[in-house]
Amino acid sequence: MKQLDTELLAGYLENLGVAVVTQMLDLYVEQSKVYLTEIAQAVMSKSQNDWQERCHKMKGAAGSVGLLTVHQQLVAIEKSSESWQQKEQYLHALNVENSSAIEAFSLWISQQ
């Protein structure tokens, strides 16, 4: 479970219960779709400001629900000034990692 901050999630579970933590995941899943769409739009419009702003928002959301690898990936790319072609590759990798981390979270919560 290297993708997850299981200490943070265990604390949430203890304080909030399975239902609320599951709801947090569901909310993140929906919101991350919005963030990823917005990041893709920043790439299409080649807006460095939008890229940073939208990566920053998603970084905070991923961190708050304990998705370590997604958070770390966003920390690494948020202020990137590399080519837009490279940023497209970052976006693709982010989509893949986000899906994988959500699966890991779902599996983790189902075992609680």
What is the helix (H) or strand (E) element at residue 3, kind and residue range?
none
pLDDT attached to residue 1 = 67
Cα(86)–Cα(102) distance, integer angstroms = 24
Q: How many residues are given for the chain?
A: 112
pLDDT attached to residue 15 = 98
Q: Where are the domains of the chain?
A: 6-110
Determine how many CB atoms are found less than 10 A away from the CB of residue 103. 11
Chunked into runs of 10 residues, the chain (112 residues) has average pLDDT values of 93 97 98 98 98 98 98 97 97 98 97 93
pTM of the model: 0.95
Hey, what CATH class is 6-110 in? Answer: mainly alpha
pLDDT attached to residue 59 = 98
